[in-house]
Structures are given as C-alpha cells and as structure tokens.
Amino acid sequence: MSIFEIINKKKQGMELTAQEINTLIADYTTGKIPDYQMSALLMAICLKGMTTRETTGLTMAMANSGDVMDLSSLTEKGGKTLDKHSTGGVGDKTTFIVSPIMAALGYSIGKMSGRGLGHTGGTIDKLESIPGLRTELSTKEFLDITARHGLCISGQSGNLVPADKKMYALRDVTATVDSIPLIAASIMSKKIAAGAEYILLDVKTGSGAFMKDLESARELARAMVDIGNGCGRKTAALITDMSVPLGCAIGNSLEIIEAVQVLKCDPAAPADIAEVSASLAAHLLHMVEGGDLAACREKVEEVLRTGVALAKFADMVEAQGGDRKYIEDPTRFENAKNIVPVKSPKSGFVSEMDTRGIGVAAMMLGAGRETAEDTICHSAGVYLYVKPGGYIKEGEMLALLHTNNDKVLAAAEEKLLASIKFSQSVPQEVPLIHAIVS
C-alpha cells in the first residue's frame, strides 16, 4: 500500500496493519517518505486516533528504527532490569532518588535521559552540575557501570529511536503534539529501545505538567501501560501531582542537593519529594517482587536509613567521572553570584501556584533553556520557602532567587510573584498521588 493510500485510510478512521506501520516508519526514517506526507498522516492520527493495537505497532516500529539496547549481560545470573520514566515537571528530581534505591535493593536500573528545553533543565543537565561527571558514554561503559554499581544515567544514544526524533520535530511545527497515541508511542518507543524488563511510569498532572487535568493524565497512562505490556514489558504507572513544584528546589545543582538530602534522610528534606520518591520506588519493587506493598515500602525505607542508597548514588557519580565528595558533602557546590530573597507581598496562606510560571522564572534566572542554543547555568534557580497550605506574614521570606545574571532578577521576581496566590483560609490539600494504573 502506498503512503497516499495509508493517509487516506487513516483519514477515514480505519485501522492500519502492522505491516503498513512498519513500512511507513522504515521508509520515513530513511527519507523515502517526504515530510509533507508524514505531516498529513500525523494530522489524520491526531483527528481520528489509533487503536491500542495500532499504537503498540507504531511504538515497536519506532523502537526498532535505530539502536536497541541489549541488556542480556545484566540478566545472565538472574538479575532484573528496571526503568522509571517521568513525563516531566518543575522540581522533579525523583530519578536521583529512586534509581539509587533500586540499585541498593539489588536491581539494575540503567537510564538514558535527555536535556531540557523549556522552563527547567533535564536530568542530564542536573547531573552535569556535579563537577567532572560524564553523561556521554559508550554502550560498553554504560553496561559496565550498570553491572558494577546497579545504576547508570547517561545521555541518549545518537541513534536511539531516530524515527521519533524526526517525527517529533515535525509534530512540533504542525500542531500535532497533543495526540495521546503519538505522545504514548514517542515515550514508550524510547523505553522499549532502552531494553528494561520492568517499566514504571510517573505521569504528572497539574499546572506544571504537560497533561493539565487528571482525565488526560489517566488516558495517557492507560495508553502507555497497555503499550508496554503489549510489547512484553511489565509496565505500570503512578499519576502524581504537579500542580505544585515537587520539593522546594528548582534548578540544576539545587535539585541534586535536595535529592541528596532525601537520600540522607535529612529532616530538612521536603516531605513531598521524599514521599513521592519512596512511593515510586516501593511500587517499582512491588512490580518485580510482588507480595505486600507495605513490605516493599519498608525495604525502600531501610536502604535509605542505612545509607546504602546514598552510597550507590556516590558510586555511580564516581564511576561516571564525577567527584563523589559533592554527594557526600553538597556544601561543595558552587553558589550563584547573586542569591536574592523574595519577600511576601502580603500575609495569608499560600493557596495556589502556577507551577509552570515558577519554572519560567527559574529559566529566566538561567536554570533552563528557551532555545536549544542557550547555555544552562548549573547554580541558577529558585528555592521556595512556603508552598500551598503554608502561612506567611507580609515581608517574610517567600523564596530565594539564584542567578549569575543580576539583570534578570527584577523580571524573574515579578514572574514568580505573579505565579503565587494567597488566601485568608487554609486551602484544600491536593494528594501527591492521584491514581495507580496497572
């Protein structure tokens, strides 16, 4: 069947066969199908949707369009390989907590992550705030480090899921990003190509998430879980809240420092990031071991209490060329040149936050990129002292702004303050975990 016929078939809402999808993705990846025809098909998918079978077929075709990680060397002696993926948000540093926990529990969790483009840095940007740490690793290095320490976090392979790279660039300029089947296939193709047997998805919902409402987040989670299980991977999802930044630190080195606080069981660590991280780890362990979820949670808390998880993170940092002393003593991280307090403009309860707006304020300070060419400032960001439900008096410390560029301070402060609302009554508490999809 020609690409014209495939477009016409999908335009009529008909189901594409696995062979049609495989041919389509192979021909588009190699340049046999032009962008204008793929754009037409993407719009047809956006308007007509895809069945679970189609979306699973699309995911597998995309995953097989480039390199596929072979993790068999990690499972030869009965080991199990795990992965955890977040759909992204503001202050989300759970990867640096969940991954060491799972390694401390005896499992292998090798992650390929990306850089950020938007209001905050990505996982790789945050890791690279640790002096000397390398994220550009060969496949052999990636597997060797994961085998030795149980975890490794590297940048994505240049040829991992090339079909997704081409298709996403096209979707970005053709108003076809907001399609559940295309979003799910994009995310899951990378997870399938990365090779892990068990995949836990952290699907965010709220003002700082891509999926703003719970219904959309649930639809995306269901689609991705069905794809993962349909591709032979044990997959589940937690829908977690992103109506408020996760933790208090928003930035790169600031978030690494906060993750270390959680790994150290520091009483100063924010309760929300500690709770979400422990819940994710417990559910991932439950996927692998089964049994009682409460018992899994106790195992998670034990490797935190005993310092084993913290040691695993320091081992990984050292193995990737970083200075482990920064994990053992985070006060070594370089501070921004300007650390400026933001005072509360009024007294009352913090009632609501525009989480994305706070992320944009952090980007303005240098913590994120507006364009791909922008340079990240690892020490830049925002630290929040009060979050929804907290009471503050006029003139008290609301936040700290960290930046090397004093020219952006006024605008960033204005953006931050515009993103926070106050009330005279205690706001309704929002759950950290909204739903579990398995």
| Beta-carbon-side half-sphere exposure of residue 225 (alpha carbons within 13 Å) | 18
Query: Within a 10 A sphere around the Cβ of 117, how many other Cβ atoms?
Result: 14
Secondary structure string (H, E, C) spanning 8-68: HHHHCCCCCCHHHHHHHHHHHHCCCCCHHHHHHHHHHHHHHCCCHHHHHHHHHHHHCCCEC
- The pLDDT-based confidence of 210 (bands split at 50, 70, 90) is confident
Q: 174 φ, ψ to 5°?
A: -125, 20
Q: What's the DSSP call for residue 163?
A: H
Which H or E run includes 350?
A: strand 348-353
DSSP 3-state of 215: helix
Tell me the whole-structure pTM to 2 decimals: 0.94
Reported as a single tens digit per residue, the pLDDT across 318-336 is: 999 999 999 999 999 999 9
Query: Taking a C-beta distance cutoff of 8 angstroms, is the pair 386, 133 a contact?
Result: no
Average pLDDT of the chain is 95
Reported as a single tens digit per residue, the pLDDT across 126-145 is: 999 999 999 999 999 999 99
Q: What is d(CA 61, CA 164) in angstroms, rounded to the nearest whole number?
A: 10
Q: Which CATH architecture has domain 3-49?
A: Up-down Bundle (1.20)
pLDDT of 37 higher than 60: yes
Which H or E run includes 124?
A: helix 123-127
Both tokens of 319, joined, read 């193995």
pLDDT of residue 367: 94
CATH 3.90.1170.30 fits 337-423, yes or no: yes
Query: Taking a C-beta distance cutoff of 8 angstroms, is the pair 234, 121 a contact?
Result: no
Both tokens of 67, joined, read 């390199």
Mean pLDDT of 326-348: 97
Reported as a single tens digit per residue, the pLDDT across 351-376 is: 999 999 999 999 999 998 877 777 89
Both tokens of 222, joined, read 């269901």
Q: What is d(CA 244, CA 91) in angstroms, rounded to the nearest whole number?
A: 9
Q: Which of 266, 246, 275 is nearest to 388 (CA)?
A: 246
Mean pLDDT of 59-80: 92
Q: What is d(CA 370, CA 364) in angstroms, rounded to the nearest whole number?
A: 9
Tell me the C-alpha to C-alpha distance, in Å, between residue 8 and each of 4, 16, 105, 173, 221: 6, 11, 51, 22, 29
- The pLDDT-based confidence of 178 (bands split at 50, 70, 90) is confident
pLDDT of 117 higher than 60: no
- The pLDDT-based confidence of 118 (bands split at 50, 70, 90) is low
pLDDT of 68 higher than 90: yes
Q: Where are the domains of the chain?
A: 3-49, 72-328, 337-423
DSSP letters for 82-102: EEEEE---SS--THHHHHHHH
pLDDT cut 70: percent of the chain above it: 98
Reported as a single tens digit per residue, the pLDDT across 224-257 is: 999 999 999 999 999 999 999 999 999 999 999 9
DSSP 3-state of 261: helix
CATH number assigned to the domain with residue range 72-328, chosen from the 4 options 1.20.1090.10, 3.40.1030.10, 3.40.710.10, 3.40.50.2300: 3.40.1030.10
pLDDT of residue 373: 74
More confident residue, 422 or 159: 422
Q: What is d(CA 341, CA 333) in angstroms, rounded to the nearest whole number?
A: 20
Both tokens of 186, joined, read 């994009």
Query: Taking a C-beta distance cutoff of 8 angstroms, is the pair 367, 121 a contact?
Result: yes
The structure tokens 């995949």 sit at: 199
Reported as a single tens digit per residue, the pLDDT across 376-397 is: 999 999 999 999 999 999 999 9
pLDDT of 119 higher than 70: no
User: 376-402 burial, b if ≥16 CB within 10 A, otherwise e?
Assistant: bbbbbbbbbbbebeeebeeeeebbbbb
Q: Same CATH topology for 3-49 and 337-423?
A: no
Both tokens of 43, joined, read 């719009």
Residues in the chain: 438
pLDDT of 116 higher than 70: no
Tell me the C-alpha to C-alpha distance, in Å, between residue 379 and each of 108, 137, 184, 342: 30, 24, 33, 18
Residues designated catalytic: 85, 164, 171, 186, 190
- The pLDDT-based confidence of 66 (bands split at 50, 70, 90) is very high
For the chain, the C-alpha Rg in angstroms (whole number) is 22
Q: What is d(CA 244, CA 438) in angstroms, rounded to the nearest whole number?
A: 25
